[in-house]
Amino acid sequence: MAQTDQIRQSAKPFGPFEWMVARRYLGATRRGGGVSLISIIAFLGIALAVAVLIIVMSVMQGFRAKLIEQLVGINAHYQIKSSFGTSLNDADAVAARVIKVPGVIAANPTIANGSYATTRAGEGLAFVQGIAPEALREIDFVAGPDHLVAGSLDRFGEGKFGGKQVVISSGLAAKLYASVGDEIRLISARGAETAFGMTPRSGFYEVAAIFHIGNSQFDEFFAYMPYAQAQLFFSKRDGADYIDVRVADPVHINELVEDLQIAAGPGHVGYTWQQLNASYYNALQIERGMMRVIVSFIMLVASMLIAMGLIMMVKDKMSDIAILKTMGTSNASIMRIFFLSGAMIAVAGTIAGVIMGVLFSLNIGAIEKWLSEVLGIRLFSPDIYLFDSMPAQMQLSEIAFVVIMALGLSSIATLYPAWRASRLDPVEALRYE
């Protein structure tokens, strides 16, 4: 009787007695056979689920961040065009007004058109942009030390009509078998107007520099020439195709749209980089939403392992539960004991999963390279995945989402087995013992 009173006094809600019993139930089976296999399986299930989700979400976030960085790094953050579909004859005046808008760091008249590039050794399509030389030098993805792989922009733009130099991307250079100092021929369908229509125009240009963006699609065809030379080559002496506007915070470009439109004035229309790259941006937004749904389902499956483990544990501990009840342990206390057993598995598995996921994400580039060498194949081909290296970027908010989801679903999954344990009839449990 004294022992029963002692148990009742020590069995406070989530007190030392309940924690002790919960830990003992996790540690060994009824026959004392060492660490419970059920606990190990549940622990590994939740740990691997958390680790995989952190890795996948880090990689997806890395893809998203790197693609957006390249989109806003190489393209206009905001394009201003003529609302009539014609050239901007007042491009300089519009650019002068737009540059005064707070948050705008550059506004440059630009000409952009497709061309056909050839050399004696190769050929390929080129997307040629005519831009002021000083503006090109401010684009880090072209002129930055991490991207300019050969040549120099020091002489780019010198000479009559800006000179006869071009800057080409690494993929285009590879297709043309061209290096710095080589001469390439550009052919444009927008040539001189004649009585029989527009005739093609061609010209020879020296490769001043070669840059590498890191995106296989962009690196395949990008090229730049001085703005004045592009006006001549594409027969655009009357104006520009659009105003290339760069802002300090391109992610929040929508906050400046109204001011930019007012500065551009009537007869002009503008497009944000999200609108210009709608296919990319919408795919990223859908992917972000779907990933959260997938996370929920994967974590739900992992939490079911804990529920299954507890159900089997309840069956294994039926006689123990009956003895505890006969000694005065309440139904609520029994329920809390099994809840704590499941919660300990969930917490331990989540911590282990976070550690594994973070370590893997931090070293994913080295791991991918090592696996490629071991297997003898390129696991991350830039021709398929656009980038030349596997990106991974961890966000505390995403890790927190995975942790909360894991703990929340696991806690919910423990409730039913714990409730079943609390409803166990001691007489039925001990009948066959």
- Which of 212, 125, 122 minimizes the C-alpha distance to 175? 122
The predicted structure's pLDDT at residue 35: 46
Mean pLDDT computed over 229-237 = 87
- Encode pLDDT of 51-63 as tens digits: 988 888 888 888 8
| Mean pLDDT along residues 162-168 | 92
φ/ψ (deg, to 5) at 124? 175, 165
Whole-angstrom Cα distance, residue 248 to residue 256?
A: 11
**Is 80 exceeded by the pLDDT of residue 2?**
no
Q: Which residue has the higher pLDDT, 67 or 254?
A: 254
What is the overall mean pLDDT for the chain? 83
| CA separation, residue 307 to residues 240, 342, 349 (Å) | 66, 8, 14
What residue has token string 């395949």?
Answer: 220
Name the nearest CA neighbour of 299 among 350, 352, 243.
350
- Determine which of 215-219, 224-228, 308-312, 429-433 has the lowest per-residue pLDDT on average: 429-433
Domain boundaries, the chain: 2-67+281-430, 77-273
pLDDT in tens, 259-317: 999 999 898 999 999 888 887 777 777 777 777 777 778 778 878 878 877 777 777 77
